[in-house]
A = this chain, B = another copy of it.
């Protein structure tokens, strides 16, 4: 989120919409609630964004970019593979700890409107092929075990994201609904996920 405080109405609306949409999703949110959260009235929402759908799409794109940031930069760098993975997992889980509700929000909405999802992904310019090539080179060089690169990438994402996606469920089942304990646990996971993955794939 931007640290700069802009007092203009559009930004107040965007912040309010993000708060409400993330909590209740597109279908569960009400324009009145967003207006209240922003401290304005409903008509003004429509003045700025015309429809609920357009307002929602603005929020979705913004949140999507945060939840799936561009990881190409250092994942395609010259660092050794264990450092690349360690850095990515640490940075990524830290990012999710700052925005713990982003993943569930994205998951909630991706099945609602697949066409829109496809548009967003394309506008992001996501191209995982280079990532797969990088993994395959590491396998070829005998530094990690041979496996489907897509499996590996999905495993990394799953281990990082799932605990946030299933947060309320896991919190009740495994942590007696104590949020502080669960948050401490998630912080520790930065280490444990890294070890779990490297244990599995690294050839030493």
Contact = CB atoms under 8 A, between A and B. Distances in A.
Nearest to A147: B192
A173 B108 contact: no
Contact of A24 (B112, B121, B196): B112
B114 A168 contact: yes
Contacts of A81: none
A32 interface: no
Contacts of A121: 169, 172-173
Interface in A12-38: 23-25, 27-28
Contacts of A108: 25, 107-108, 111
A185 B117 contact: no
Contacts of A173: 121, 126, 128
B27 A165 contact: no
A43 to B, nearest CB: 24
Interface residues of A, number: 55
A59 interface: no
A73 to B, nearest CB: 18
Interface string A172-188: 11110100000001001
A79 interface: no
Interface stretch (A1-9, A87-95, A155-163): A155-163
29 contacts: A24-B112, A25-B108, A25-B112, A27-B28, A107-B108, A107-B165, A111-B168, A114-B172, A117-B168, A117-B169, A117-B172, A118-B177, A121-B169, A126-B173, A128-B173, A128-B174, A148-B188, A150-B174, A150-B175, A151-B192, A151-B193, A154-B162, A157-B162, A158-B161, A161-B166, A196-B201, A199-B199, A199-B201, A200-B200
